[in-house]
Structure 1
């Protein structure tokens, strides 16, 4: 079974490979999220994930398209890191799931609110390159108790489980 993921980010691709391991060929394709580079709400982040899932399905000849999107959500308690995923199959409404959330430090949150994107902000904060393709902000701010790949793997498990449940009834 061919699974297309709408990103070439290694943490996202590996997360899909971690779950779709048997009889699956995971193929990464570049597709646009069609939302801001830094999604600032759950709604925008969800829409980005759906757009990537549908775009991946459209780009390939696979059975499943998956979109994974990171963003942030403002709350009364501060700005939280959020992540959303979508799984698209032809003829069905996309399956959507949300994952882990952590409060971002005020110094990071302020830069995002002022219009910067989390990836470059984290590179600057850590003095490293391409954090988004490695441990991610979640890894940095949890002392690697959970990294970006693990966070997205959990999200893909939620999508996969819902897909299995839906298929059970068909």
Structure 2
């Protein structure tokens, strides 16, 4: 099985490799078609779908995978939340999976709501660089108990599930 991942982020590639360890996985730099900081579930899911489709069309792969992290405002429980979505396509069907959601602290949420991107905000607050290519926000806010790779692998597994084993018959386009 050959899988094209619509990102060159090593954490996203590692998440896919964890879910389909026997596959040959290639990183393909593609555009998400949404803002650098997707806001809302719809934009985040759209970015994942766009990445999956672009990855598949740019490589002679069996599957294209798109992974997108975003933020969304929720009323119950209130706050700005980190969200993660993955999409997997074989060219005729596309399936989705979500990773965990984590409420962002108000100091971070305020900056993100004002238009800044989450990754650079956390890099600034923590004195770090490229946190999104390491443990990510989820790693920070779970004190390392869940890494970004762990969280994204959950989303990828949910999206890949319908294409693997008995789940194949339930994939939606």
In structure 1, C-alpha distance between the alignment counterparts of 2:39 and 2:92, rounded to whole Å: 30
Q: Does 1:136 align with 2:136?
A: yes
Displacement, 1:169? 7.4
TM-score using structure 1 length: 0.95
- What corresponds to 1:146 in structure 2? 146
In structure 2, C-alpha distance between the alignment counterparts of 1:90 and 1:154, rounded to whole Å: 22
Aligned residues: 168
Displacement, 1:96? 1.0
In structure 2, C-alpha distance between the alignment counterparts of 1:108 and 1:34, rounded to whole Å: 25
TM-score using structure 2 length: 0.93
The answer as to whether partners of 2:97 and 2:154 remain within 8 angstroms in 1 is no
- What corresponds to 1:53 in structure 2? 52
Q: Secondary structure at the match of 1:67?
A: strand
Aligned pairs (5 A) from 1:51-90? 51-76=50-75, 77-90=78-91
Displacement, 1:167? 2.8
- What corresponds to 1:105 in structure 2? 105
Displacement, 1:166? 4.5
Q: Secondary structure at the match of 2:85?
A: strand
